[in-house]
Structure 1
Amino acid sequence: MIICCALFFIFGFVTWANGTLIPFLKLALNLKTDLQAFFVTFASYIAYFFLALPSSWILKKLGFKNGLVLGMVILGLGSLVFIPAADNRSFGLFLTGIFIQGSAMALLQTAVNPYLSIIGPIDSAAARISIAGLCNKGAGVMVPIIFGLLFLDNAKEVTAKLDATTDPVAKNAILDELLHRVHTPYIVLAVVFVLFAVLIKFVHLPEINAEDDEAVVENDDVKYTAAKNNIFQYPHLFLGAFAIFCCVAVEVMAGDIINTYGRELNIDANILRFSTSFTLICMLVGYVLGIATIPRFISQQMALRICALSGVLLTIVSAFTAGYVSYYSVALLGLANSLMWPAIFPLGIKGLGKFTKTGSAIMIMGIAGGAIWPLVYGFLKDKMHIDFQHAFLLAMIPAYLYIIYFAIKGHRVGMKK
């Protein structure tokens, strides 16, 4: 469990770095629109769609532990790509490094999420994932502060200098200095990831073979015995994967896009650089509540309903208010989003038995929601010229409504009463 929590910390550090990289790369590479900058999240999350199923195959061949070692090494290599990307001022190379990191994360997540779900009772899986989620979101709180200070320090002054400078040589010198800030942090990250891979190699981690388990689900109102030989005979799995798609979509919108949203609201720049931390602090509060209440006081399904409904209400408030009320309503979406992944994932793979690893990979593919939804928002805002608050509303509400459907009915589809 300690290794799993450490891995979730690493997931959080790498993933939520996007919230700082979006404004940093837009400034340092002189990107023209927010839509361009949102390709940072696209490169990070789309890797899950393409690599999740191959990751399942890799884990079957290499085993759980060796799969983790390989994933950490790839994560280190992806971090090193940032160095030539900065030196060549290449947005394409930055996206390549981010995609490689996302590919490593797909392998690691495909291994760790089902591991947490099946090392104990499935009905308490949300609590275990919430404990690991504390580490994930704890890292998410830290990384915008650390990277904000390293990358976005004096961002307002740098922007003013760039606007005032007409000499191309002087402007290039300013941008080169800005991009040079990437070197040390990402070299340190690469070293840490490789050292952690070595640690995993020599630590005992029990292999859990879900493929030998009979897929039987029982609770108060459903019983599902799986004498099935095809993954497509589990419709709740695919509905769950799309719920994960929607869940990650709204998480990324609240966590990574809040900086852009706050800029449109004219929030002070010194506050903006810590925007992702505000959202992640709210998520941490939600995880603590989940650990304390699931399944002792409320079920995973009920927690999911409450969270999604809260998300709808907070999104409406953010869209029809202004200033700091609107801004902090987006941050509070972190609280609404906090228990959705821990509830959706075990519901999606419940009763899969020998298909658990493949089912987990399909669920992980849903993380691609984080790639698509910021682009949808950017397209609505920058290309269709919809007001940024209304564009946010149009992007968020359908995702929350689908999650409510999954919480009430979708997770039961295919199960016999």
Structure 2
Amino acid sequence: MAGITNSAPSAAPPAAGVGAPGGGSYLGPLMTVTMLFFMWGFITCMNDILIPKLQQVFTLQNWQAMLIQTAFFGAYFIVSFLYFAVSVTKGDPILRIGYKNGIIVGLVVTALGCLLFLPAADLHSYGLFLGALFVLASGITVLQITANPYVSILGPPESSSSRMNLTQALNSFGTTIAPIIGGYLIFDQVSGAGEVTAESVKAPYIGLAAALLVIAVIIKLARLPRLTGDDGAGVVAGSGALRHRHLVLGIICIFMYVGGEVAVGSMLINYLKLPQIAGLDESGAKHFLSFYWGGAMIGRFFGAVALAQLRSNGVKYGIMAVIAAVTFGAVSVLYDLNQALIILGLITVNFGVLLLGRFIPNRTVGLYATAVIVLLLIGTFGQGAVAMWAVIGIGLFNSVMFPTIFDLAIKGLGVHTSQGSSLLVMAIVGGAIVPPLQGVFADVTGDVQLSFLVPLLCYLYIVYYGFVGYRTRALS
């Protein structure tokens, strides 16, 4: 997986460590690219704050509010489909312009989408908000297509799952703090105004646009290694990626995973408002949404350590213990001891399931999906604190799924790696389809709690992929 061009082969990545061809290091470029993962994680999770906010502003039903996710993740499908169509007929665009230029294009388009929130708020137009989200997500789609395979090949193949989990942990850090910052700016700052308007969404998205443009300048000035044909050589047409069975099944798996994860996060605030669960208001529920996404961050740090090529398991356990201790301390200080103890208990269960997986990527995915199914059943049919914390704990087990499924699906694709990546990113459209389906279920049945059976079906397929579907086989 050193490169994805069929011209003269690129210098192979080192067998261990972070050394780059020519004696350099991949560590600097890897740290630079991780900024992208943080930013799109932050922006994606802001949708979970926008849903209840715009639902208030425009008096929307659940399924109408979930169109926020449809507009956002629908862009993933449309832009990725167009990318795939171009790669089939004209050759891979990323191999033509290079990963660096592809990243810059994605950042600029994402910033433009953020700025479109200004006229949407001024004109009080829900449709324009959806259009702004579509543009914003189109830019993030380009970032996903370029950055995910870039991280996978930015070092030795045997530690690619570890790198993917590490960068996705930074993505999850963005999703963890987004509910806190976004909730404060969008809800708390206007809680006493007495008038429900969309004005409060303008400042956060102006700030995001500015940050994205600054990162684009940093990427432009950064020296990123040209691993896979940045000179345009070796660009090939055709749909050869689809000949790989594990990729095709992986595309379905990404669809199911993103659909399930986003559906749970999108409905979580409304779930916590239920009197039989917690009876919280939006402002009170936002930090529990942060726990949900924060669990994914902690789990991905665990995954990065577990799947890394370290000297011994003792070193891995020690690092994980430190991560758990820091998490416990942070929650104790920021919130209270009782919540910290509950989270520590969930982390302990997560670690136990990780041990059962024996640090094998596909096995870990299968077991984590099984754990999520159990938690969803508790959240669907239980009540009170037990049901609440079961759903919040799903974040911990979601953690390694996306980066590990992505890495499993693109293994062995060679020249078709970025084409396969575009197909996997296209499958993120699951986040546009599954949440509205859950919203419709909740509206039709009048039962938000029972609607969690919809994402449960998604995780059943992930169990299959983790234990069976990941195996590399060519389609006849």
Name the TM-score class by shorter chain. 0.7 to 0.9
2:378 maps to amino acid: V
Q: TM-score, normalised to structure 2's length?
A: 0.76
Alignment of 1:15-414 (within 5 A): 15-31=44-60, 33-55=61-83, 57-153=92-188, 161=194, 174-175=195-196, 178-209=197-228, 230-264=240-274, 265-269=277-281, 270-294=283-307, 297-382=358-443, 384-385=444-445, 387-393=447-453, 395-412=454-471, 414=473
2:51 maps to amino acid: I
- Counterparts in 2 of 1:229 and 1:284: CA distance versus 1, 3 Å: closer
Q: Distance in 2 between matches of 1:364 and 1:144?
A: 24
Q: Distance in 1 between matches of 2:73 and 2:118?
A: 21
1:324: Cα distance to partner? 2.5
Which region of structure 1 is more displaced relative to structure 2, 197-206 or 288-297? 288-297
Given that 1:16 and 1:276 are in contact with CA atoms closer than 8 Å, whether structure 2 keeps it comes out as no
Structure 2 stretches of 5 or more lacking a match?
1-29, 85-91, 310-357
Q: Distance in 2 between matches of 1:106 and 1:234?
A: 23
Q: Distance in 1 between matches of 2:56 and 2:360?
A: 45
Q: TM-score, normalised to structure 1's length?
A: 0.87
- Counterparts in 2 of 1:242 and 1:210: CA distance versus 1, 3 Å: farther
Partner of 1:218: none
Q: Distance in 2 between matches of 1:210 and 1:46?
A: 30
Q: Distance in 2 between matches of 1:329 and 1:75?
A: 34
Q: Distance in 2 between matches of 1:210 and 1:241?
A: 25
Q: Distance in 2 between matches of 1:387 and 1:53?
A: 35
Given that 1:210 and 1:353 are in contact with CA atoms closer than 8 Å, whether structure 2 keeps it comes out as no
2:55 maps to amino acid: K
What count of residue pairs does the alignment treat as equivalent? 384
Given that 1:259 and 1:273 are in contact with CA atoms closer than 8 Å, whether structure 2 keeps it comes out as yes
Q: Distance in 2 between matches of 1:25 and 1:374?
A: 16
Given that 1:256 and 1:276 are in contact with CA atoms closer than 8 Å, whether structure 2 keeps it comes out as no
1:74: Cα distance to partner? 0.6
1:156: Cα distance to partner? 6.7
Given that 2:172 and 2:294 are in contact with CA atoms closer than 8 Å, whether structure 1 keeps it comes out as yes
1:100: Cα distance to partner? 0.6
2:65 maps to amino acid: A
Given that 1:74 and 1:100 are in contact with CA atoms closer than 8 Å, whether structure 2 keeps it comes out as yes
Map Cα deviations across residues 374-408 of structure 1 (whole Å, 9 max, x no partner). 111011111x3153222212x12221111111111
1:39: Cα distance to partner? 0.8
Given that 1:55 and 1:106 are in contact with CA atoms closer than 8 Å, whether structure 2 keeps it comes out as no
Given that 1:254 and 1:334 are in contact with CA atoms closer than 8 Å, whether structure 2 keeps it comes out as no
Q: Distance in 2 between matches of 1:200 and 1:284?
A: 24
2:462 maps to amino acid: I
Q: Distance in 2 between matches of 1:346 and 1:179?
A: 39
Given that 1:34 and 1:378 are in contact with CA atoms closer than 8 Å, whether structure 2 keeps it comes out as yes
Given that 1:258 and 1:327 are in contact with CA atoms closer than 8 Å, whether structure 2 keeps it comes out as no
1:184: Cα distance to partner? 2.2
Given that 1:55 and 1:107 are in contact with CA atoms closer than 8 Å, whether structure 2 keeps it comes out as no
Which secondary structure state, in structure 2, belongs to the residue aligned with residue 17 of structure 1? helix
Given that 2:164 and 2:407 are in contact with CA atoms closer than 8 Å, whether structure 1 keeps it comes out as no
Which secondary structure state, in structure 2, belongs to the residue aligned with residue 256 of structure 1? helix
Which region of structure 1 is more displaced relative to structure 2, 309-318 or 121-130? 121-130
Q: Distance in 1 between matches of 2:433 and 2:304?
A: 30
- Counterparts in 2 of 1:49 and 1:41: CA distance versus 1, 3 Å: same
Which secondary structure state, in structure 1, belongs to the residue aligned with residue 76 of structure 2? helix
Q: Distance in 2 between matches of 1:203 and 1:54?
A: 29
Map Cα deviations across residues 183-215 of structure 1 (whole Å, 9 max, x no partner). 222222212211211121111111221899x9x
Please provide the CA RMSD for this pair: 2.3
Given that 2:260 and 2:456 are in contact with CA atoms closer than 8 Å, whether structure 1 keeps it comes out as no
Given that 2:278 and 2:388 are in contact with CA atoms closer than 8 Å, whether structure 1 keeps it comes out as no
1:136: Cα distance to partner? 0.8
1:9 to 38, 44, 58: 38
Map Cα deviations across residues 111-146 of structure 1 (whole Å, 9 max, x no partner). 000011112233322211111112111111111101
Which secondary structure state, in structure 1, belongs to the residue aligned with residue 225 of structure 2? coil
Which secondary structure state, in structure 1, belongs to the residue aligned with residue 198 of structure 2? helix
Which secondary structure state, in structure 2, belongs to the residue aligned with residue 414 of structure 1? coil
1:20: Cα distance to partner? 0.5
Q: Distance in 2 between matches of 1:183 and 1:141?
A: 21
